[in-house]
Amino acid sequence: MRIFLCLNYGSSSLKHALFEGQKQILRHKRVFRGEGLSQALRELAKELPISPEVVLHRVVHGMEHKSPMPIEGQSLEILRELARINPLHNSIALEGIEQSLELFGKSKHYAIFDTDFHSNIPESARIYGLDYELYQRGIKRYGFHGISYSYLLRRSKQVLEKTKPNLIMMHLGQGCSVCAVKEGVSIDTSMGFTPLEGLLMVARPGDVDAGVILHMLRSGLSVEELERRLYRESGIRAIAGVSDFEELLTLKRNGNRRAILAFEAFLHRLLKYVGAYWFFLEGKVDALVFSGGIGENSPEVREELCKRLAFLGVELDQEANRKNQEVISSKGSSVKVLVIQTQEELEMVNIFVESNKII
């Protein structure tokens, strides 16, 4: 059995897991600050009980590139270009990849892209109303959280005992998105050319009138400052002044006006996308799927959303919801409601194995 090391890069953390085939040997998360990724990787290399044959790297933005992509001379240049498009996520992954090539020089390295899961989204859902030349150059909707959605789809098929389900999947964490799956294929998702579009997020604004961005630039903000604000200082943090969702809920329960506003705005945007995707699926929804740190751990968010969907036949089992069980819908609900703990590192291995790569 091959030994896989999966590296999942965050802005301030490194999740890593070691697998023998598809059996997990170990999994850990290291938190770092500043330039600490390099140190975290060096410590990881020293502590691994066995040397990996294959190192799989999660890369958020892959544009049209397919997974798994072998990492070598030419593909490294592709990854550097992708880091210029999505600096928040891809630049960190690029740093990790370059370091890992030195630390695990005898291993084969592959990139697994979040965008790949959404490759079948139709052109009509991908294109922006901008110069067609920009579309031809790749300025279009790509969607993200694809590795997570791939796992959620896999697990949903097992729970529902259905090979081609219709799903509305929600990955709600620091970054938040919704994905519509029709007959087992992604047909639309809330994030776009970058992970800034769509839902209101913890530190990102989601959908914003482009005129607001122009106004901010005309007000004297540099592109670099604007980028920092959009990726790190917007969303719930900007409205309520907190960057932790549990803290937001505590403030909301205590009657804090801005926390209540932020929560309602978050829920409003979520309901808006779920409703649109329900329509896209022509009302034939097999399940709503919650995942991510908020989706998996916040009964309050799930309850408040499902209350607003009650007219469509959605009904929760309150006890199951409170306990974060995998199936939280009542027996009388017309739609299953699932809470699935996503496993991105395992799914990276699944994607690799199913690609039939020979090394």
Could you report the per-residue pLDDT of 193-210, keeping only the tens digit for each?
999 999 999 999 999 999
- State the pLDDT confidence band at 294, using cuts at 50, 70 and 90: very high
- State the pLDDT confidence band at 359, using cuts at 50, 70 and 90: very low
Does 245 map to a domain? Answer: yes
Residue 12 pLDDT > 90, yes or no?
Answer: no
At residue 287, the pLDDT reads 98
At residue 357, the pLDDT reads 55
Are 225 and 311 within one domain? Answer: yes
At residue 358, the pLDDT reads 47
Are 115 and 166 within one domain? Answer: no
Q: How many domains does the chain have?
A: 2
Does 179 map to a domain? Answer: yes
Are 314 and 167 within one domain? Answer: yes
Identify the weakest region by mean pLDDT among 32-46, 53-67, 221-235.
32-46
Span 287-313, average pLDDT: 98
Domain boundary among 119, 140, 175: 119
Question: What CATH number is associated with residue 237?
Answer: 3.30.420.40
CA distance 212 to 133: 24
**In sequence order, which residues have a C-beta less than 8 Å from that of residue 272 and are 6 or more positions away?**
none
| DSSP one-letter string for 194-238 | STTSSS--SS---S--HHHHHHHHHTT--HHHHHHHHHHS-HHHH
- For tokens 């789809």, name the residue: 153
Does 233 map to a domain? Answer: yes
Does 131 map to a domain? Answer: no
Q: Which residues pair with 26 in a beta bridge?
A: 18
pLDDT in tens, 13-29: 899 999 999 999 999 99
Are 113 and 226 within one domain? Answer: no
Are 104 and 183 within one domain? Answer: no
For the entire predicted model, the pTM comes to 0.96
Q: Which one-letter amino acid corresponds to residue 214? A: L
Active-site residues, by number, are: 114
Does 98 map to a domain? Answer: yes
Q: Which domain holds residue 310?
A: 162-339
Are 177 and 282 within one domain? Answer: yes
Span 231-239, average pLDDT: 97
Are 110 and 171 within one domain? Answer: no
Are 70 and 166 within one domain? Answer: no
For residue 275, CA distances in Å to 125, 138, 155, 283 come to 16, 28, 23, 10
